[in-house]
Structure 1
Amino acid sequence: MELDKLDGKRQEQESHARGSSPEGRVALGAAGGLGKAIATELRERGADVHGVDIVSEGVFHADLSTASGNRDVVAYVLATAPDILVLNPGCQFIATLDQFPDAEWNCLRSVMLDGPFFALKAAWPALTKSSGACVVVTASPVSYGGRARRLRTVPRSGPR
């Protein structure tokens, strides 16, 4: 394990010595769920993954709901020549419309809709310089039908 510091934030990054592993792969929201699974799979294939989340051990800490948080992540990863950007933000709050707090709605929208936009905008110049770069964006399967009563699905369907 290698410990790095960036602006006072602690980052734990695993190095992989399996063959010619690609560098700079990013799995945003890598602390749990699908993001953690994506990060694990890429690591198992030999990639040097930079996991990011607002709170968790072993990942770069950043608020991915903000433009500045996404710029911090991209600036950190640019030092390793990113070639794949995985946009998989997520958070959850469940309530009926009449009970749904404005602050929770703003959080959901910021993390799951604004965050991917800010990340892609910040990474775009570097990604377009690489002929092999790609972007993977996840969205909720309920954006194709399902639990329409879940307000959480609205911002999660935006990247679709």
Structure 2
Amino acid sequence: MFDTPPNDNLPRGTICIEDLEVGMMRYLRKQVTDRDIELFAEVSTDHNPVHMDDDYAQDTIFEGRIAHGMLTAGLISAVIGEQLPGHGTVYMGQTLKFLAPVRPGDTVEAQVKVLTIDHAKRRVTLDCRCLVGDTVVLKGEALVLAPSRKFD
């Protein structure tokens, strides 16, 4: 559904609803580090040993530590809040399906694509996904209230 984007992250900022078009896409890439996992555990208070303890995680279905699913989902939030639509966007809802684990050291590409636009209500539906290489690890849809020049 997504075209392969170029290798660089796209610029940050705001795309007002008046300038949005169905099919627009933005993304970011981030390598998930041990520090990211530790910080997410601290902030969320989720210290599940599948994320924190190598020995424990080795005996799980994942056969090793994995990043928190919501840490990965947070990368989608970063694309929405910083790029598409960007600054001033308000989240109204998000669906998520976690399809594969993200491990420390993996580079995640979070992609967001405009599916529908309701100009009268300033609502935008976004197709969201995260990939590690060619593997889709997370997918879902977001509904957001997009910024508008009329309210500046």
TM-score after normalising by structure 1: 0.27
Q: Which has the higher helix share?
A: 1
The structure with higher relative contact order (CA 8 Å, sep 6+) is 2
Q: Which has the higher strand share?
A: 2
TM-score after normalising by structure 2: 0.28
